[in-house]
Amino acid sequence: MKVTLTAIKADIGSIGGHLVPSSDVIARVEEFIAERGKDLICDHFTGHTGDDIAVLVTHERGPGDEDVHRLVWEAFKSGTEVAKNQGLYGAGQDLLKDAFSGNVRGLGPAVAELCFEERENEPFLLFTADKTEPGAYNLPLYLAFVDPMYSSGLILSPTVGQGFAFTVMDVSCTKKDRIVEICTPEEAYDLAALLRDNGRFVVESIRSRATGEEAVSCGTTRLRNIAGKYVGKDDPIMLVRTQKNFPATGEILAPFEIGHFVAGFMRGSHIGPLMPVKMGSGVSFFDGPPIVSSLAFCVHDGKLTEPTDVFDHPYWDWVRNKVAEKAHNIREQGFSGAAMLPYADLEYGGIKVRMQALEERFCTRN
Ligand code: 13P
Ligand code: 13P
Ligand code: MG
Ligand code: MG
């Protein structure tokens, strides 16, 4: 069967600040999808990471389908009503446009979609991150799909070893989708030159060069570009198919043990290490640290298995402790230097006003 996985994620309000959605809001979103989606979709899953709710639906209607996107948009709208009634912080935060117009892309929520002919066995991973930006997946994807130091399949498997085609988006271009295709291993250094800049160049998708099949789809939404001002971080969502002609599940997960430094954290304006956490975790310390969770599923005839939480394992407890120490180390230096984003990337307009006022007080000495 040709199945489409559609994963959409939005912050529609949370308890106590930007921490976690309420169980009532999550329940409303889930019920809405189950009820209204009955004749439209094959299966669905709803979960949350930090203050963002993620909805995964399976269907046969292809990517960008208007009815499927409308279903999830309206589920988030319905959840927002509950959030408002409960007085949740930032109710409807990521629903930046009033009216649905064909597709949730460009309306606020983050979207990742994969469409493929199901293999006999079809494992995949759903990643959801909070308090960070889409470029947070750049390094883990590079290491899992290009570097045999992390991904042994690149030297052990004849198909994985033929490399991958990366589609990279320049998210600074707001008028149109500006993209480039880079083929590894030959162009690995070109890819690294782009992906070092997580704020500008973002992996959008990855294809197997052996079979042409799509392995990865990653949300590239920039909320600031849609809203024209800071309304929250772009907390990204990603789908990754694994095994056989793709890296193994464990190879995809391996780079997440680094806890690499990403943009986000408090007020979307700092640098912090990305901590792999269990699905359903909130954030706390300094509205962070930036977190990522991941669930593994198999899908057959459009039906999902129950998920297994890949970061719910003793190994990742050790990783979390290590990453907490990295977070502590960078937070010790507060606003200074590398701990905060450069001026141009700061998400808050307030500092611009402050700097303009100071500008007028400067004078030059003869
Ligand atoms: P199995 O031999 O258990 O199928 O594992 C193969 C594999 O890909 C492990 O990473
Ligand atoms: P979210 O983007 O997760 O809502 O976080 C916003 C923020 O400012 C946290 O301090
Ligand atoms: Mg929020
Ligand atoms: Mg969030």
Q: Measure 187 CA to ligand 4 centroid, in angstroms.
A: 34
**Domain assignment of residue 265, yes or no:** yes
Q: Measure 23 CA to ligand 2 centroid, in angstroms.
A: 19
**Domain assignment of residue 363, yes or no:** no
**Domain assignment of residue 202, yes or no:** yes
Tell me what pLDDT residue 131 has.
Answer: 97
**Domain assignment of residue 364, yes or no:** no
**Domain assignment of residue 366, yes or no:** no
- Say if CB 51 and CB 11 are below 8 A apart: yes
Choosing from 11, 43, 94, 130, which is the catalytic residue?
Answer: 11
Instruction: Kindly give the pairing relationship between strand 275-276 and strand 291-300.
Output: parallel
Q: What is the number of structural domains in the chain?
A: 1
**Domain assignment of residue 365, yes or no:** no
Tell me what pLDDT residue 127 has.
Answer: 98
- Say if CB 14 and CB 89 are below 8 A apart: yes
Read off φ and ψ for residue 145, nearest 5 degrees.
-105, -10
Cβ(248) to ligand 1 under 6 A? yes
Residues sharing a CB contact under 8 Å with residue 331, sequence separation 6 or more, in sequence order: 272, 285, 286, 339
Q: Measure 303 CA to ligand 4 centroid, in angstroms.
A: 28
Pairwise CA distance, residues 61 & 299, whole Å = 16
Q: Does 150 qualify as catalytic in the annotation? A: no
Name which of 256, 123, 263, 249 is nearest 199 in CA terms: 263
- Say if CB 3 and CB 304 are below 8 A apart: no
pTM for this entry: 0.96
Read off φ and ψ for residue 116, nearest 5 degrees.
-160, 160
Q: Residue 266: give the domain boundaries.
A: 2-358
Pairwise CA distance, residues 217 & 222, whole Å = 16
The DSSP annotation for 247-289 comes to --HHHHHGGGGS--EEEESGGG-EEEE-EE--TT----GGG-S
**Domain assignment of residue 266, yes or no:** yes
Tell me what pLDDT residue 98 has.
Answer: 86
The helix/strand/coil state of 44 is strand
Tell me what pLDDT residue 317 has.
Answer: 98
Sheet holding 52-59, edge to edge: 43-49, 52-59, 2-10, 110-117
Q: What is the mean pLDDT of each run of 10 residues along the chain (366 residues)?
A: 98 98 98 98 98 98 98 98 98 92 90 97 98 96 98 98 97 89 98 96 97 96 75 88 98 98 96 98 98 98 98 98 98 97 81 92 96
Q: Which ligand is nearest to the CA of 263?
A: 2
Report cis status (omega within 30 of 0) of the bond before 109. Answer: no
On the 0-12 / 13-18 / 19+ scale of CB atoms within 10 A, 365 is: exposed
**Domain assignment of residue 61, yes or no:** yes
